[in-house]
Amino acid sequence: DAGVTQSPTHLIKTRGQHVTLRCSPISGHKSVSWYQQVLGQGPQFIFQYYEKEERGRGNFPDRFSARQFPNYSSELNVNALLLGDSALYLCASSPYAQSHEQYFGPGTRLTVT
Amino acid sequence: DQQVKQNSPSLSVQEGRISILNCDYTNSMFDYFLWYKKYPAEGPTFLISISSIKDKNEDGRFTVFLNKSAKHLSLHIVPSQPGDSAVYFCAASTNAGNNRKLIWGLGTSLAVNP
């Protein structure tokens, strides 16, 4: 069975640009969460989506947005990129919004120059 | 404010011996705890979890112990193998209304030496 997939693997952007990251959850999983991991830190929660609705939002500015599609895949959008947005962006899927275990994709490494 | 703390950034263990990774938390509302293993350039891999109503959960070479009164949990790996070398993250699951999110520690880098 395919695990969580994310694209692209790596991305280099310039300050002020916007970026779209994509995630496909494990088949049968309806919940997708996004996390940002800065080097040397643990992942920080950005969003959770379940059944196409936002269920939770972390402490991130409005430049960060996301959505979930009818097939449960998800996009994370970041506008007006800052140098500090450089990080590994992780997508995790789980069967339901209240599921304890979350299963992670390989991440997208975003570098902002 | 770090709600989940892993105070040892690194740990080195001899192959075949026990590895003990520690984690402390501050929020008594956490009701589920998880350990993830992470290799460079990969996403975290779920290892083992424990509910706050239990004090021990075992899965093969991995055992997690929870001491609620001390707000402390530990992951024991025995026997340790070189392939266990990775960064280990402790995470706490919190019920934030109609969703769940994971609060993570900073990780402990484990090196198992042959």
**Strand B108-113, strand B10-14: pairing:** parallel
Q: Is the pLDDT of residue B38 over 90?
A: yes
Q: What is the mean pLDDT of residues A55-62?
A: 93
CB contact under 8 A, B100 and A35: no
Q: Report residue A96's pLDDT band, with 50, 70 and 90 as the boundaries.
A: confident
A15-34 pLDDT, tens digit per residue, is: 999 999 999 999 999 999 99
**DSSP letters spanning A36-91:** EE-TTS--EEEEEEETTEEEEE-S--TTEEEEE-TTS-EEEEE-S--GGG-EEEEE
Q: Is the pLDDT of residue B40 over 90?
A: no
pLDDT at A110: 97
- CA of A93 to nearest chain B CA: how many angstroms apart? 12
* B28 close contact with A: CB closer than 8 A: no
CB contact under 8 A, A42 and B100: no
CB contact under 8 A, B34 and A101: yes
pLDDT at B2: 80
% of residues, chain B, pLDDT over 70: 99
CA-based radius of gyration for chain A: 13
Q: Is the pLDDT of residue A103 over 70?
A: yes
Q: What is the mean pLDDT of residues A56-84?
A: 96
Higher pLDDT, A93 or A39: A93
Q: Which residues of chain B have a CB within 8 Å of the CB of A98? A: 95, 98-100
Q: Which amino acid is at B12?
A: S
**Separation in Å, CA A16 to CA A63, A81, A85, A89, A108:** 11, 5, 11, 18, 19
Q: Which residues of chain B have a CB within 8 Å of the CB of A92? A: 43, 102
Q: Name the residue in chain A with its Cα closest to that of B48.
A: A101
Higher pLDDT, A102 or B98: A102
Contact B41, A102 (CB under 8 A): no
Q: What is the mean pLDDT of residues A35-57?
A: 92
**Strand A10-13, strand A108-112: pairing:** parallel
Q: Which residues of chain B have a CB within 8 Å of the CB of A41? A: 106
Helices (H) and strands (E) in chain B, counts: 0, 11
pLDDT at A1: 60
- Return d(Cα A92, Cα A46) in angstroms, integer: 11
Contact B44, B31 (CB under 8 A): no
Q: Does residue B79 have a cis peptide bond before it, meaning omega lies within 30 degrees of 0?
A: yes
Chain-centre distance for alpha carbon B25? 11
Q: Is the pLDDT of residue B42 over 80?
A: yes
pLDDT at B112: 97
